[in-house]
């Protein structure tokens, strides 16, 4: 077993021990993912099931939820390099790096279809891409160590085609065992689905 695998196993065992002791992940019950806000946005909440820091410096966790009795989920990978950036003279500094949303397979395909239904985009995606990379800028917390507290990240999907540009929020509450994927603007609904969807054959 490689050294990185040992590190991942150690973190997984620690998480399991914390669960058994009533620590940060007190229950494995999966939440209903849909939280509709007063503004009409659909914010999604998931239970973090697995978490680890890998040998390449990335942080990865898997998060799952339930929608109408169906299990849905996604893998989130925080890049290894987070640099401090200035957002303006009157604003606190932030971290900038990369965030990947990766497919778990069937659970992520189901999640994408649920998002398509909730958003009313009617794109009927067949499957989620293996991975979609976003630029991330923190609004709160330290992405270099998500175990210390809530980390709120604004996600930017920045393709060459400006018409496909999109934004999302990812709020990571590792101590509470929750991941939130929140809408930024309804105008980004179609670009978000297209960013995450696997291209159709011949498309």
Cα–chain center distance at 64: 10
Task: Give pLDDT, residue 13.
Answer: 43
Residue 134 CA: distances (Å) to CA of 26, 175, 180:
30, 24, 16
Structure tokens at 113: 């279809």
Q: What is the pTM of this model?
A: 0.82
- What is the distance between the alpha carbons of residues 174 and 179, in angstroms, rounded to a whole number? 8
Residue 80 CA: distances (Å) to CA of 48, 55, 162, 177:
20, 10, 27, 21
Nearest one of 189, 150, 149 to 171, comparing CA atoms: 150
In this prediction, the residues of the chain whose per-residue pLDDT falls under 70 are 1-28, 36, 201-203
Residue ranges covered by each domain of the chain:
28-196
- Note the residue count of the chain: 203
Task: Give pLDDT, residue 203.
Answer: 53
- What is the distance between the alpha carbons of residues 192 and 46, in angstroms, rounded to a whole number? 18
Task: Give pLDDT, residue 37.
Answer: 73
């Amino acid at each position: 077993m490689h050294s990185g695998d040992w590190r991942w196993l150690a973190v997984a065992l620690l998480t399991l021990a914390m669960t058994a002791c009533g620590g940060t992940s007190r229950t494995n019950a999966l939440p209903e993912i849909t939280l509709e806000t007063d503004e009409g946005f659909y914010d999604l909440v998931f239970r973090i099931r697995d978490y680890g820091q890998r040998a390449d410096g990335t942080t990865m966790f898997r998060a799952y939820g339930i929608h109408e009795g169906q299990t849905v989920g996604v893998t989130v990978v925080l890049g290894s390099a987070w640099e401090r950036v200035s957002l303006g003279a009157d604003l606190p500094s932030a971290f900038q790096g990369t965030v990947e949303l990766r497919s778990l397979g069937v659970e992520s395909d189901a999640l994408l279809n649920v998002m398509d239904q909730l958003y009313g985009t009617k794109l009927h995606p067949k499957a989620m891409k293996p991975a979609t990379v976003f630029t991330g800028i923190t609004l709160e917390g330290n992405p270099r160590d998500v175990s210390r507290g809530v980390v709120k990240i604004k996600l930017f999907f920045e393709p060459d085609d400006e018409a496909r540009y999109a934004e999302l929020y990812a709020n990571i509450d590792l101590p509470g065992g929750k991941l939130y994927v929140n809408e930024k603007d309804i105008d980004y609904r179609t670009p978000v689905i297209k960013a995450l969807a696997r291209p159709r054959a011949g498309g």
